[in-house]
Structure 1
Amino acid sequence: MASLYDLQGREVLKQKTDLAVIRLPSLPSGLYVLLLQTKNGQHILRKVAVK
């Protein structure tokens, strides 16, 4: 599962995926927080910059 949040904490994308690639639709430029949940329940947080 992949969720993308803007810096105000609003979820802007939620995607169920088993792929190593996450497709980002046309999002406004800015910074986002990506939260990934692996199959074994591990959570991974990353900052994402969209140009």
Structure 2
Amino acid sequence: MLRWTISFIILAIVAAIFGFGGIAEGAASIAKILFFIFIVLFVISLFTGKKKI
């Protein structure tokens, strides 16, 4: 999922450089949503993970 987020961020940056506003906004919004989903899943996995002692 992090790979998808990074690819959409790169796509948004490239589209913004070339001036394609609609594509850049769409890719940036998808990247933002995926980023927050990734953060939530990461926090959940921190709390539910097995602890090795």
TM-score tier, shorter chain, comes to under 0.3
User: If each structure's strand is expressed as a fraction of its own residues, which one has the higher value?
Assistant: 1
The structure number with the bigger radius of gyration is 2
Under a length normalisation based on structure 2, what TM-score does the superposition of the two structures give? 0.21
User: If each structure's helix is expressed as a fraction of its own residues, which one has the higher value?
Assistant: 2
